[in-house]
Structure 1
Amino acid sequence: MQKNKARSRFIVACVAPATILAFIFLVIPTFNVFRMSLFKWGGYSPNQTFVGLDNFVTLFQDENFYRSCRNSILLIVLVTVVTITFALLFASLLTREKLVGQNFFRIIFYIPNILSVVVISAIFSAIYDSNRGLLNNFLSLFRGDADPIYWLGDQKLVIYSLAIAMVWQAIGYYMVMYMASMSAIPESLYESANLEGASRTRQFFSITLPLIWTNIRTTLTFFIISNINMSFLFVKAMTGGGPDGASEVFLSYMYKQAYTNSTYGYGMAVGVVVFSFSFALAAIVNKVTKREPLEF
């Protein structure tokens, strides 16, 4: 009996610090976001006016908010599909094919993940520079003296320019995760498939993908949610939401409303919508990708 009590006290002592920290830095701030979304407040004055759901009524009539929604959803879909596809492709090549310098390629692919978003943003801002940028200088070899392309200044191109930077940053991390899963698949399965005459492509879709699906499902959910945060960091560092709000995303619009326009309550209403959207999206992805796990 004494032994069980001592064990229980030990478990409580281990769990309590993390629980207290989570409550202070996660639960309470989240509750305050929901609470402040019901108030009209500039963020600095002591005067807070309760307005109920007025902030949400205004929000769902705000065209700028809908534009940030479209940009966020576009980045979520585009960046996720491209990143996961190329991460799987490169992981398969570096795991199954006998390539010269495999370790070198693994390091090269992973390097972007250890760089900060600010550094990556600076690199791509220099590449996209309309006058001295590497990309325009390269294209001038084929376009001659045509007008330079404003990659971060064109309302139609800016989101896709951001997407390329986000893909470049993320591929290496997910490639390494998939390589770890693929390396655990017994080689005998592929040998049997070779004897049956299955092509490399057929082996990838019939053996590799099903056996690492649990890992794909987990990383897919994680990446989609983290994409919302990463898009804000890239927008903040590279475009500031411009030109003319064309690259505004969920969190950059929330930040601008709360801390730049001094409409803190309205910004928190945006935060509530983003919070709800993130959880709903995670639930949908989990439901859509759910399947019976395969074992070997």
Structure 2
Amino acid sequence: METAPWRIFHHNDQEIIIDVDGGISIGGHTTHPFPCEITFASLCDNGLVATWVDHDLRLARMAFISLDEPLQEGATKAQLRLKRDSTMVAGSKWCHIIDSEPLAVEAEDDKIVFALWARGIYCIDSSANELWRIPLSTNVGKSPPRSNEITSLNIDGDSVVVWSRGGTFSQISMLNGKQLSQGELGVPCDIENVFNHGDRFLISSKDGWIWEFRDEEITVARKLRGTIQDAAFDGDDWRIISWREDLMLLGESQTRADLGVQIFQNDGEWLVIDNQGQSSPHMPDKN
């Protein structure tokens, strides 16, 4: 592919690749429904929900695109500059202008949970009907700066776990938005991302520290040369890609020539797609 990949999804035997410029490729054909990068994307109810953000033009969109219909080419960047308030994501089932930075988006089945900077946390269905909303945390005095900023949302069954940069978390009901529990990681951190497999969490801090967190306790701690690019739990251990490195959380590591972008499983084999668009085995002796 001409542009480096950013995310890869599989839907109904189709491979969907999103590149760093916001292009979406299905079956080798690439379209640009909106002329800027996609910052968050998740599969939802036979479609793709995503956010498009242009920091230079200070605008953002959130939209739902059906994956059962051909994708449509959207406006150019020049057209967007002329009609910034009326240009929407081409071919979308719905599209909304959002006036605040998206911090996290996660979807499962027909529900979408997202957080907006200085606004709140929202839950909608795949038709954009609002189910609930709650305000952001107002705790002050924590370090580092912006510690209360939401950095990750992880859906686990009937609840979503909301993580802040400073390591606090809240478990929220997917049904009504009520808080079920809260806690904190308990170590100094500036969380960049959180991955989960059920109630098992893998947490990546910007200083290279990573932790496995389960039953409200740290079970593993490890320092990497960089932060986690992507991770997946294979049933026994966490498979991780970091800065030019593949590793198992509880095991060894191997260097990688190109930058790994995402881990995925294909026909029982764990693979990594790199920034050149090429796929290769992740820790082949562990497959």
Question: TM class by shorter-chain length?
Answer: under 0.3
Normalising by structure 2, what TM-score? Answer: 0.22
Say which one has the larger Rg: 1
Higher helix share: 1
Q: Kindly indicate whether structure 1 or structure 2 has the higher relative contact order, using CA contacts under 8 Å at least 6 residues apart.
A: 1
Higher strand share: 2
